[in-house]
Amino acid sequence: GQNIDQPTEMTATEGAIVQINCTYQTSGFNGLFWYQQHAGEAPTFLSYNVLDGLEEKGRFSSFLSRSKGYSYLLLKELQMKDSASYLCARGGGGNKLTFGTGTQLKVEL
Amino acid sequence: GAVVSQHPSWVICKSGTSVKIECRSLDFQATTMFWYRQFPKQSLMLMATSNEGSKATYEQGVEKDKFLINHASLTLSTLTVTSAHPEDSSFYICSAHKQGDYGYTFGSGTRLTVV
């Protein structure tokens, strides 16, 4: 299988930093994606990692360690609008994209 | 940028009827399209992978005779939920992948309610 695990829920304070972790099975790996999804809407692309290391995009950064089957999404300067579900997704054979369980992030004042 | 149009946005149907959902790539040719289902407060579950001109590949546990997928052209894939039941009520989302590109473009989703 391609078990992709993330915490189910997280809570953080406005202005703070939060890290959302994701672990996945490494066989047949073809890239790691992070998406943001608000309730009732389609996922929105945030980041893509295929090589080890950190990719930074404004307030969002994503890290990948291929040998460990591990990634994290880092959100800085949290805003209320960042309250959403964050989905880790693994690219695999046949261009298949498989999603993790999703992490529901709640940003509080 | 790449755009995928998915219709309808929402549909209500009676038990036993069939519903067709369309997914179109508007400005690129999608060699592969994917269909997902999402139940409330859960993640996206891949149902099937659809390649233009060939039969769809279904994930384990997904009934191919119930969820009919057609990918007749490089810009259109359809999902037909046949003999719908209330337990089929869900959020269905398609995504399209362009050959040679790493990204996936998602449709806006279809909320299906079977009564």
Distance from CA of B107 to the nearest CA of A (A): 7
> Which of A49, A85, A97, A101 to substitute to test the interface with B, most B CBs within 10 Å?
A97
Q: What is the mean pLDDT of chain B?
A: 92
Q: Are A62 and A106 in contact (CB under 8 A)?
A: no
Residue A77 CB contacts under 8 Å (≥ 6 apart), including other chains? A15, A17, A59
Q: Which chain A residues have any C-beta within 8 angstroms of a chain B C-beta?
A: 31, 33, 40-43, 45, 48, 50, 85, 87, 91, 94-102, 104
Which segments of chain B are extended strands (E)? Answer: 4-7, 10-13, 19-25, 32-38, 45-51, 57-58, 67-73, 76-81, 90-97, 104-106, 110-114
Task: Report how far apart the first and last C-alpha atoms of chain A are (Å, whole number).
Answer: 39
Distance from CA of A98 to the nearest CA of B (A): 7
3-state SS string for A41-59: CCCEEEEEECCCEEEEECC
For residue range A42-101, list pLDDT tens digits in order.
899 999 999 999 999 899 999 999 999 999 999 999 999 999 999 999 988 777 888 998
Report the alpha-carbon distance of residue B91 to residue B68 in Å, rounded.
16
The pLDDT-based confidence of B79 (bands split at 50, 70, 90) is: very high
Residue B22 CB contacts under 8 Å (≥ 6 apart), including other chains? B5, B6, B7, B76, B77, B78
The pLDDT-based confidence of A1 (bands split at 50, 70, 90) is: very low
Lowest-confidence range among A3-12, A94-103, B80-89?
A94-103
Distance from CA of B106 to the nearest CA of A (A): 7
